[in-house]
Chains A and B, each alone.
Chain A
């Protein structure tokens, strides 16, 4: 809202530099976003909160200043000469009629009429005021309606009475499909939810939103019917939104204008009109008011101790009284409830004690309230957050950069990954900002992979990213998304990343996370990794899924990134579920201080035997004193027959109470070799 300083001075005699005015207003809730100079005037751009429609007019802002600076608000002049009859001898009632069909939506309608208007240009002062706040001067009548709108915050509309068919005003619902031509030149098809102002044959205004072009006043209009009304906020907003027709008028009505303001603004208009033009105003007012609309609200009790409890500062009684009276509140008007206040008609936002306490605090200065420290408290550590933090540190320490991608996804490039590993259809977003973000993501990987592409396209050769975030799944019988915390990581490199070593690298991240969360211990060996099929979105043969017990809780593998050289590997874990398996009970375990004996084994074995088969056999052999089995290398090539591979691993033996002899270890290893030969057809190499 643009506010002219000179204009404000009509209402309150401010004698302060403009910066001070701006600061005082800012610190009482009217944030000044800018000051412009206009000749001898300054225009302040004020940010008005949605609860304060009274600030959408200069007088409302001036009232705030009067209270802040403790100076009086000038009275508003509303008087003007009246005539009982027009030149044909008709009274107001005989000249025109007003019928309100829908009092729910039009709570109050007032119409006054001026006749025998002699054409005259808008005076200089009026034009200057309007131009200063960014409005165009059109003609005297329109300029005055705009002036009163910007002065009092009450929208007015002037009809050329000679263009109103049947000289009647009917406030009714539009017919479905009824056409309306607005003043701004736009054309609209109305709906039965829209409220219109009509004459005997057509809609002449869209109630509270905009007047019609067919009955607008012009420079030589001689008879004016001035509408000043109160429309229900919600329907005005709905019509304005649906027709995408916003105006200064709808902006105010949808925030709820002052119910008493309709009459005052109308009289103010005619006061100014009579000063500026030769005209006759018919006495009386064509008016309808919904029952009870004008009744003041219930008295509101304000307890000094409650005020002190909320603000943290005792405010003197006389200061409380001064502030509230200045803002238009009336103390105990009928003497029945001492210490109680009635809110003025323009403060529909004030209905409770807390609303008045806010007023007191706001004017007194919320920023001036003395600081008070709270008593000290300690906070227990959040175990789940702690585990998440450890996992993130691990990813950071292994060279991954933490990323932040949108929670929205699309049925795009990597949808197969989501379809395969995240059970259930995605949740659909009704109004996505980007067309390709029409669903909630089920996996972090698609978003992360497109960031990888972005980086690679920008020439970053090696990209390691990770993210911990929520994904949104569907579960039968649950009528809202199941939110899970996932961890995803990717490594994409132009060269040098391929084959078993690349798989082992991304898999190594998963293994480290499982180890860190001590999942294997917690789950007593129910952790397995299994090959994934080709429809998983990952490249079959080099990708695997993690199962803990019967739950699938992760995937690792490689993907095709079209147009990107080298290889891209990735993984994702259902971190939230894994953390649930973690035991926090960490205890020391005694270890043997005896020397260990290591034996390297290199076997040649059929290609279809997996490492898991070998490790299972080793475990099943229950070798005496075996401490550890470690995979070393896998090789296919010249010295290995077709359809076979060479696998190297080592075994560490250690006894708890003595040094092992080489002989006994060799004997144990020999047992294993025989077992592998027999059960897996393995051949010892070299």
Chain B
């Protein structure tokens, strides 16, 4: 340790503390503060010579200087208190702005929003994620095999009619259901499987308050050993309970018909005083499993498709599906 410098610090400390102790008014105190801690003060002066010390001594010296600084600051604070001096006076702190009106509103911060359909979709993905479902993806333009044949929809089935679909050319159409992803996943991955596939689907329906020709579905598929209709029921119930967080909601599975599931059922949700159809579900038809080379004797499973717009309309109380694609900022910003 360089004796001279260290001694400098010691005497600086002693002198400063004495001066503070004997000060009797705010301006004296301020003079001491500037003289010791200010830009051209004595402490800064000593520190400026730090560079002349051997490198290995610098850290210890710096630490000692810091201790001195803290001691002087603490003494200043005590003295201010003793003298009843406002600590902000004389320092570089700002005084109150003249004529300030603190009842003024804050300046508007730029804030966008997420589309309600995407918000609901994200929540659904999250809940199903917690239930062990992984997100899968497939193309929006499909061939007839994945949209129909692989889903046990026979060649002469009415669902294949050109007027019921958006065909681009023979054997190429906009997918009319997200069930296509079931087939794609099963083709590529052997069971066990637990997936969801959210996405757009397309059907040339006449547009009204509840129908559009492009909407979103969330498809679910489970293929595991020993999966039963009871598992399907429990899974959907858990999902809707978590989604709506409302003990007043009820769910019922009403028998129906879909070519790719058997038994099949409609998913009816009772919420806020009315029954609503949320989608379809059922046990995966053995033909669908066989078509992708999965043994239906060993593996069973269930599938469901839920309408995301329907869930969004119910959750946000939106009366007309057309709001979703109008993109009026006055609509969108309500969901920020």
- Residues of A participating in the B interface, judged by any CB pair closer than 8 Å: 26-29, 31, 49-52, 233-234, 237, 241, 254, 308-313, 352, 354-355, 357-358, 361-362, 366-367, 369-374, 376-380, 382, 385, 389, 392, 395-408, 427-433, 440, 448, 451, 454-455, 458, 460, 463-466, 470, 472, 480-481, 483
Q: A310-B228, A454-B328 are in contact. List 20 more A-B contacts (CB 8 A).
A: A49-B257, A313-B230, A367-B252, A371-B237, A374-B235, A377-B132, A396-B114, A397-B111, A401-B112, A401-B329, A401-B336, A402-B112, A404-B324, A407-B200, A408-B214, A428-B168, A430-B168, A431-B166, A448-B327, A472-B141
Q: How far, in angstroms, from A49 to B157 measured CA to CA in the complex? A: 13
Count chain A CB atoms within 10 A of each CB in B207, B265, B329 and give the residue with the most: B329
Structural contact, A455 and B328, CB atoms closer than 8 A: yes
Q: Which residues of B contact A361 (CB under 8 A)?
A: 229, 255, 263
A-B contact pairs, 13 of them (CB 8 A): A31-B266, A233-B156, A237-B158, A352-B286, A396-B112, A398-B110, A402-B114, A402-B332, A407-B140, A431-B162, A431-B167, A464-B112, A481-B168
Structural contact, B262 and A354, CB atoms closer than 8 A: yes
Q: Which residues of B contact A237 (CB under 8 A)?
A: 158
Structural contact, B112 and A397, CB atoms closer than 8 A: yes
Q: Which residues of B contact A433 (CB under 8 A)?
A: 204, 207, 213
Structural contact, B257 and A50, CB atoms closer than 8 A: yes
Complex partner residue of B163 from A355, A431, A472, CB under 8 angstroms: A431
B283, CB-defined interface residue at 8 Å: yes
Complex partner residue of A407 from B162, B202, B255, B262, CB under 8 angstroms: B202
Known interface pairs A49-B256, A234-B156, A401-B112. Does A366 touch B135 (Cβ–Cβ under 8 Å)?
no
Q: Which residues of A contact B253 (CB under 8 A)?
A: 366-367
Complex partner residue of B255 from A362, A440, A454, A481, CB under 8 angstroms: A362
Q: How far, in angstroms, from A31 to B275 measured CA to CA in the complex? A: 12
Q: What 1/0 mask marks residues of chain B from 128 to 168 whose CB sits below 8 Å from any chain A CB? A: 01011111000111010000000000001010011100111
Q: Which residues of B contact A483 (CB under 8 A)?
A: 139-141
Q: Which residues of B contact A427 (CB under 8 A)?
A: 141, 168
Within 8 A of A (CB), among B202-241: 202, 204, 207, 213-214, 222, 224, 226-231, 233-235, 237-238
Structural contact, B327 and A404, CB atoms closer than 8 A: yes
Q: How far, in angstroms, from A27 to B129 measured CA to CA in the complex? A: 31
Known interface pairs A377-B194, A379-B134. Does A52 touch B231 (Cβ–Cβ under 8 Å)?
no
Q: How far, in angstroms, from A357 to B282 measured CA to CA in the complex? A: 13
Structural contact, B114 and A366, CB atoms closer than 8 A: no
Q: Which residues of A contact B194 (CB under 8 A)?
A: 374, 377
Q: How far, in angstroms, from A217 to B112 measured CA to CA in the complex? A: 70
B333, CB-defined interface residue at 8 Å: yes
Q: How far, in angstroms, from A27 to B265 measured CA to CA in the complex? A: 10
Structural contact, B113 and A372, CB atoms closer than 8 A: no
Structural contact, B327 and A405, CB atoms closer than 8 A: yes
- Residues of B participating in the A interface, judged by any CB pair closer than 8 Å: 110-115, 117-118, 122, 129, 131-135, 139-141, 143, 156, 158, 161-163, 166-169, 172, 174, 194, 200, 202, 204, 207, 213-214, 222, 224, 226-231, 233-235, 237-238, 252-257, 262-266, 283, 285-286, 300, 324-330, 332-333, 336
Q: Which residues of B contact A408 (CB under 8 A)?
A: 214
Structural contact, A480 and B141, CB atoms closer than 8 A: yes
Count chain B CB atoms within 10 A of each CB in A313, A406, A433, A458 and give the residue with the most: A433
Q: How far, in angstroms, from A361 to B330 measured CA to CA in the complex? A: 48
Structural contact, B229 and A402, CB atoms closer than 8 A: no
Q: Which residues of B contact A254 (CB under 8 A)?
A: 158
Q: Which residues of A contact B135 (CB under 8 A)?
A: 382, 385
Structural contact, A312 and B228, CB atoms closer than 8 A: yes
Q: How far, in angstroms, from A472 to B333 measured CA to CA in the complex? A: 29
With both beta carbons as reference points, the residue of chain A lying nearest to B233 in the complex is identified as A371
Rounded to whole Å, the gap between the CB of B168 and the closest CB of chain A is 5
Known interface pairs A379-B133, A392-B114. Does A29 touch B255 (Cβ–Cβ under 8 Å)?
yes
Known interface pairs A352-B286, A382-B135, A407-B174. Does A374 touch B222 (Cβ–Cβ under 8 Å)?
yes
Q: Which residues of A contact B233 (CB under 8 A)?
A: 367, 369, 371-372
Q: How far, in angstroms, from A392 to B133 measured CA to CA in the complex? A: 23
Count chain A CB atoms within 10 A of each CB in B110, B230, B237 and give the residue with the most: B230
Structural contact, B333 and A309, CB atoms closer than 8 A: no
Q: Which residues of A contact B263 (CB under 8 A)?
A: 310-311, 357-358, 361-362, 366
Known interface pairs A361-B263, A429-B166, A483-B139. Does A50 touch B158 (Cβ–Cβ under 8 Å)?
yes
Q: Which residues of A contact B133 (CB under 8 A)?
A: 379
Rounded to whole Å, the gap between the CB of A1 and the closest CB of chain B is 15
Q: Which residues of A contact B172 (CB under 8 A)?
A: 480
Q: How far, in angstroms, from A41 to B326 measured CA to CA in the complex? A: 46
Structural contact, A398 and B214, CB atoms closer than 8 A: no
Q: How far, in angstroms, from A401 to B254 measured CA to CA in the complex? A: 38
Q: How far, in angstroms, from A432 to B207 measured CA to CA in the complex? A: 13
Structural contact, A27 and B158, CB atoms closer than 8 A: no
Known interface pairs A51-B257, A440-B141. Does A454 touch B204 (Cβ–Cβ under 8 Å)?
no
Q: How far, in angstroms, from A614 to B207 measured CA to CA in the complex? A: 55
The 9 closest A-B pairs by CB, nearest first: A312-B230, A312-B228, A377-B132, A399-B110, A29-B255, A371-B234, A372-B230, A49-B257, A358-B263
Complex partner residue of A399 from B112, B141, B266, CB under 8 angstroms: B112
Q: Which residues of A contact B332 (CB under 8 A)?
A: 401-403, 465
Structural contact, A310 and B283, CB atoms closer than 8 A: yes
With both beta carbons as reference points, the residue of chain B lying nearest to A353 in the complex is identified as B286
With both beta carbons as reference points, the residue of chain A lying nearest to B332 in the complex is identified as A401
Rounded to whole Å, the gap between the CB of B155 and the closest CB of chain A is 9
Complex partner residue of B224 from A374, A385, A392, A430, CB under 8 angstroms: A374
Structural contact, B115 and A404, CB atoms closer than 8 A: yes
Rounded to whole Å, the gap between the CB of B303 and the closest CB of chain A is 13
Q: Which residues of A contact B226 (CB under 8 A)?
A: 309
Q: How far, in angstroms, from A99 to B283 measured CA to CA in the complex? A: 46
With both beta carbons as reference points, the residue of chain A lying nearest to B119 in the complex is identified as A402
